[in-house]
Chain A
Amino acid sequence: MNDLSVHFDGVSKRYPHFSLEDIHLELPAGSIMGFIGANGAGKSTTIRILMGLVHQDEGSVMVLGHPMPLDQAAAKLDIGFVSEDMRLYGQATLSWHMDFMRPIYPRWDQAYGEALARRFDLRPQQKIKGLSHGQRVKAALLLALARRPRLLVLDEPTTGLDPVARVEVLNELMAVLADEDRTILFSSHNTLDVEQISDQITFIDRGRIIDSDDKEVFLDRWRRLRLVLPPDGVVPRLPGIIEVGGSSRLPVLTTNRFEPAMVSVCNDLGATVQAVDTMTLEEIFVANVHSRRERLTA
């Protein structure tokens, strides 16, 4: 598990209106990383650099032991990539695409591809142009999965899918992980999907990585404390306070360094802790982005 499937070190890329700055990313083999960011945060640019489709200005990128973009041809044999703007041939059928891929990829697994078609409720004889958006996404995913790549890179795989299709896709992603050497990186703005299946989570905003850690660490450390202060009471100074909201007598503190001992510290300082709320990944992400942006403008 100590092998890194993906390693970004100090990667930057500058465009006239957007820049990706000093990106560090480490993705151990055998795990799933959810890559979360608002629209335009830099998710797709990062993924394109990972795939060698865009060349970084600075920094090193290693994917499955291959330096990128130098060694991209070798790396790509082992990477399955699905993005929203992926084009399949509209005039051709799904089974034509499968036949097309088979000789290119030595590990192509025809039986698995056919099983996926059934599970995804796709008809191999149907032309791509007749498929709905969700069916196209599933078709692209099938073509990537049946290659049995060591690294799956999925740019917004669940966007635009109906709930049933989303569950089918997430199930197949989890099934991939049965093999401990296989790794998945997927970007999403659907934090519920990410929260459920990811081991590692990375938040990106405005071209910078703002936080990256084990999912359990995120969910453990972020809490919202609802306090009741006596008249003239002051908000206790606690570690890791990201946000102070609520009213003066009833403040609501958001911390990213929660410890159970905080509750007694508050009580000792005369503030009654009314509730300690856990936060969803979405709330953590939004609080994280807000505090970061405020610090930048302050």
Chain B
Amino acid sequence: MYTQYIDMHSHIVISQSDGRPMYQQIMEQVKQRVAVGEWAPGDEIPSIRQLAIALRVSVITIKRAYLELEREGVILTQQGKGSIVAPNTGLSPQLYHEELTERLEEVARLGNLLGLSGEEIARRTREAANRLIDARLTKEIV
């Protein structure tokens, strides 16, 4: 009974070098999960205690994250029944795509400012993506 939660939600990653408080890191990743539809409206989400154990993070930190998520309308918590994803969260992949487009335009503008070719900008973007993947892999191994 002591291992069943350990790997269930380990795709949520907490970094002690992130700089942001742990509860905010958790909130962001829950929202992403909801936005991309991995956690659908009405889905039951892990209880506070389950998630705390899975992430090896204190109960009070998860409680804080859930409280804020509830305040933002992302989840609903019913006393004694656990939490579910809210029926209408307002989060959608669309929003993330729009933000990505915006940031990419910013990247293009800066690249232009530095006199970089489109090819060069694409190469740098690809490198950044690879660095991120490398960092994730290292973290998983650790």
Contact = CB atoms under 8 A, between A and B. Distances in A.
Interface stretch (A79-87, A97-105, A123-131, A195-203): A195-203
B109 interface: no
Interface residues of A, number: 26
Interface stretch (A7-15, A18-26, A212-220, A235-243): A212-220
By secondary structure, the B interface counts as loop
A196 B58 contact: yes
A197 B19 contact: no
A223 B28 CA distance: 22
A278 B17 CA distance: 12
B16 interface: yes
Contacts of A199: 58-60
Given A112-B2, A196-B16, A278-B19, A175 B53 contact: yes
A198 B22 CA distance: 12
A271 B76 CA distance: 42
Contacts, number: 57
A115 interface: yes
A171 B56 contact: yes
Contacts of A30: 59
A265 to B, nearest CB: 23
A178 B22 CA distance: 20
Interface in A18-43: 30-32
Nearest to A178: B53
Contact of A174 (B20, B21, B56): B56
A111 B60 CA distance: 30
B39 interface: no
B61 interface: yes
Nearest to A112: B2
B24 to A, nearest CB: 10
A192 interface: yes
Contact of B21 (A167, A180, A219): A219
A122 interface: no
A177 interface: yes
A250 interface: no
B49 A198 contact: no
Contacts of A115: 2
Contacts of B49: 177-178, 180
A178 B1 contact: yes
A170 interface: yes
A170 B6 CA distance: 12
A49 to B, nearest CB: 25
Interface of A: 30-32, 112, 115, 167, 170-172, 174-175, 177-178, 180, 192, 195-200, 214-216, 219, 278
14 contacts: A30-B59, A115-B2, A170-B56, A174-B53, A177-B49, A177-B53, A178-B2, A178-B49, A180-B49, A196-B57, A197-B57, A199-B59, A219-B21, A278-B19
Given A31-B59, A31-B60, A174-B56, 9 more contacts: A174-B52, A175-B3, A177-B49, A178-B50, A197-B56, A199-B58, A199-B60, A215-B58, A215-B61
